[in-house]
Structure 1
Amino acid sequence: MTKVTLIGAVRHDGKDYKPGDTFEGSTKVVQDLIRAGAAQDPSIEVDVPTELSDETVATAKAIVADAVKAAEKIKSDAEGEATDIIGKAEAEARLKVEEAEQVLTNAKAEAEKLVETGAPEPKETPTLKPVETKPSEVKKNTANKK
């Protein structure tokens, strides 16, 4: 196992390492980290900064502020679109209710006319006769449907 000082953030086997941490791993993994620029060659001594500069912090805060503004605009736009959609749906529903009320009013008027003028006598409903089938025919028809 070889030890190195990290100069970049590394995640290895589910563990997070930050710059300045000592990492211990196989020679191959350590060489890979050095080649990737995440670890310092142990034969070279270098002072690794462990704190962020004021400029870096300010830049990060500006990026976060811009992201918050963008998210708020997206949210506002989505709420506006949702309000428009709901408004259109409510207007359409009001039209349908008015249409249904008109149909009901017309039906009542027609019913009142029929009462006033005398409704024609209802026609007799024809009596339906049951169809007789033999059990063997029922089985045959069922078998053909498969």
Structure 2
Amino acid sequence: MTAKWLIPTVIYILALAGLGITSKYALRELKWHHLIFWSGVGYVVLVIGLLIFGQTSVQWTAGSGWAALGAAAVITALFMFFVALSTGEASKVVPISAGYPAVTVILAALFLSEGITVAKALGVVLVVGGVVVLTTAE
């Protein structure tokens, strides 16, 4: 049986790959702040749809602060991604930005008490090595 997380993860990967390309096309005619606007419009449409179909509600719990911090992180990440794409090549910006799993492994060990196994450490080395190869190859 396929893990429930696999299909959404594959869609996430494909969507992020498409984001680099579509954003670069958009930046031919628009400024990075216009992309932020359109991203916001997309989020508003998604939230309205979730509310209409009863898939979410506004809740204030202990987790709300963490959710707000996560939202701030996503907004900051997307903002910086668009700024980077507006001045750099997609073939360099996207691979470097894809190095975040290495940082996540380290932060998860520090803040979530998740262990760093040999396999995870090797994965971090491979991610960093892959980023170096992709961004320095001509």
TM-score, normalization by structure 2? 0.22
Tell me which protein shows more helix as a share of its residues.
2
Tell me which protein shows more strand as a share of its residues.
1
Rg: which structure is higher? Answer: 1
Q: Which has the higher contact order (CA 8 A, sep 6+)?
A: 2
